[in-house]
């Protein structure tokens, strides 16, 4: 604490990112990075933008990010005016909270934005930053979202699909009474926005993008960190109705009109145009995920069904007695894996303290991970 901080700063509990070690080389399965390199087109675009001596870097980038937005629009079958660009999806999400959810005291549940109790831990951080009341909605015992829990008057809804860190996904639904569609229609009738965070959708979930023209209150948020192997670049975007996109631009332009730099814009534009390359590497990740999930289940782990590029696991699975399997907590497995040069993610919070989130790496990465687990269990 500092006497120079204002009340807002003093009350914040910042998001804690996954470990990025510098002291030694690890197999990194803790931050959901794509294990494969970006498209060669991305590297070419960056080198081209440098133009030999980097002369272009003395000039501001295009504040409208027109080329990038046009590339996203073409890739997703929408209009450029329905695309909002951002410096990673985290920045886009920050603007989402500022644009669509009301600030104020939590004196009424009708003002609170809704999101799952086990979800992306940046959501409550953003809510507190913008002084937005919120209510976390409990997942089921199997970590599923109950659609009916979101059919209540609120300040709006935001949820990831697939959810993180669980990996479970919802379908949009074939009728107004099922899936995400029910939530969107209910909240539309009450003039509330529903935000679907699709950071991991490319790995097996149904995207809500095809429905944005039908539902003006529906916004999808995307990142190139996972799907396009660009976590080190920072590029993301949102897709929604033109009035939602205009709202995001109003907030962004009250903060910083140049949030994406020239190199990021060039690389991101190249990435979204190389669908064939990314379809290929992401299909590899899906195949590796399924193989690893089956191997973990065979070892006695509980493995939550995943449509993301990670697995949420616990030792042991329900029905397997601790006396037969050994007493190893989530934190204990985390430490044992780290000692063997493998990083995974652990959330020391209620309901999930015994679970680990494991990013899907290459086949060689996952073989090393499985071998390390086998060694740990045999020694316990």
How many whole angstroms separate alpha carbon 251 and alpha carbon 254?
Answer: 5
pLDDT exceeds 50 at position 225: yes
pLDDT exceeds 80 at position 5: yes
Average pLDDT of the residues of the chain: 93
**pLDDT band at 56, cuts 50/70/90?**
confident
pLDDT exceeds 50 at position 222: yes
pLDDT digits (tens, 9 = 90+) for 141-171: 999 999 999 999 999 999 999 999 999 999 9
pLDDT exceeds 50 at position 57: yes
pLDDT exceeds 50 at position 16: yes
Q: Which pLDDT value is given to residue 11?
A: 85
Q: Which residues of 10-32 are buried (b: 16+ CB within 10 A; e: fewer)?
A: eeeeeeeebeeeeeeebbbbbbb
Q: What are the boundaries of each domain within the chain?
A: 7-37+276-379, 40-274
Question: What value does the mean pLDDT take over residues 88-95?
Answer: 96
Question: What value does the mean pLDDT take over residues 19-39?
Answer: 90
Q: Domain 7-37+276-379 carries which CATH code?
A: 3.90.1150.10
**pLDDT band at 324, cuts 50/70/90?**
very low
- Residue pointed to by tokens 């965070």: 197
**pLDDT band at 293, cuts 50/70/90?**
very high
**pLDDT band at 380, cuts 50/70/90?**
low
Question: What value does the mean pLDDT take over residues 319-342?
Answer: 79
pTM beyond 0.85, yes or no: yes
pLDDT exceeds 90 at position 4: no
* Range of lowest pLDDT (185-194, 236-245, 322-331): 322-331
pLDDT exceeds 80 at position 317: no
pLDDT exceeds 90 at position 107: no
pLDDT exceeds 60 at position 320: no
pLDDT exceeds 90 at position 217: yes
Q: Domain 40-274 carries which CATH code?
A: 3.40.640.10
State what percent of residues in the chain have pLDDT above 70.
95
Q: Which pLDDT value is given to residue 323?
A: 44
SS3 string, the chain, reads CCCCCCHHHHCCCCCCCCCCCCCCCCEECCCCCCCCCCCHHHHHHHHHHHCCCCHHHHCCCCCCCHHHHHHHHHHHCCCHHHEEEECCHHHHHHHHHHHHCCCCCCCCHHHCEEEECCCCCHHHHHHHHCCCCEEEECCCCCCCCCHHHHCCCCCEEEEECCCCCCCCCCCCCCCCCCHHHHHHHHHHCCCCCEEEECCCHHHCCCCCHHHCCCCCCEEEEEEHHHHCCCCCCCCEEEEECHHHHHHHHHHHCCCCCCCCCHHHHHHHHHHHCCHHHHHHHHHHHHHHHHHHHHHHHHHCCEEECCCCCEEEEECCCCCCCHHHHCCCCHHHHHHHHHHCCEECEECCCCCCCCEEEEECCCHHHHHHHHHHHHHHHHHC
**pLDDT band at 327, cuts 50/70/90?**
low
pLDDT exceeds 70 at position 322: no
């Amino acid at each position: 604490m500092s006497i120079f901080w204002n009340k807002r700063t003093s009350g914040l509990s910042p998001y804690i990112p996954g470990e990025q070690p510098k002291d030694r080389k690890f197999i990194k399965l803790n931050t959901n990075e794509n294990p494969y390199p970006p498209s060669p087109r991305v590297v070419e675009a960056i080198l081209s933008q440098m133009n030999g001596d980097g002369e272009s870097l003395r000039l501001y980038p295009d504040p409208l990010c027109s080329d990038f937005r046009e590339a996203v629009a073409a890739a997703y079958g929408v209009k450029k005016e329905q695309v909002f660009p951002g410096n990673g999806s985290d920045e886009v999400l920050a603007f989402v909270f500022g644009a669509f959810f009301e600030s104020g005291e939590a004196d009424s549940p009708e003002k609170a934005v809704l999101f799952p109790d086990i979800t992306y831990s940046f959501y409550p951080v953003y809510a507190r930053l913008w002084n937005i009341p919120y209510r976390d909605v409990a997942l089921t015992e199997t970590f599923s979202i109950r659609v009916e829990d979101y059919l209540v008057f609120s300040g709006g809804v935001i949820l990831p699909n697939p959810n993180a860190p669980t990996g479970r996904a919802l379908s949009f639904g074939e009728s107004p009474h099922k899936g995400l569609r029910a939530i969107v229609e209910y909240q539309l009738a009450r003039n509330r926005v529903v935000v679907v965070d699709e950071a991991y959708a490319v790995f097996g979930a149904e995207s809500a993008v095809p429905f944005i023209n039908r539902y003006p209150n529906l916004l999808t948020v995307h990142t190139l960190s996972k799907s396009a192997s660009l976590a080190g670049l920072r590029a993301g975007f949102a897709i929604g109705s033109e009035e939602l996109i205009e709202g995001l631009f109003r907030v962004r332009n009250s903060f910083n009109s140049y949030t994406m730099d020239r190199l990021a814009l060039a690389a991101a534009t190249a990435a979204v145009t190389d669908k064939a390359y990314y379809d290929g590497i992401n299909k590899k990740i899906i195949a590796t995920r399924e193989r690893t999930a089956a191997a973990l289940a065979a070892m006695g782990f509980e493995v939550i069904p995943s449509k993301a590029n990670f697995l949420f696991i616990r030792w042991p699975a329900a029905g397997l007695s601790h006396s037969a399997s050994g007493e190893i907590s989530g934190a204990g497995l985390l430490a044992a894996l780290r000692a063997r040069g493998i990083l995974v993610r652990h959330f020391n919070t209620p309901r999930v303290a015994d679970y680990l989130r494991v990013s899907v790496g290459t086949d060689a990465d996952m073989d090393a991970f499985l071998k390390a687990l086998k060694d740990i269990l045999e020694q316990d």
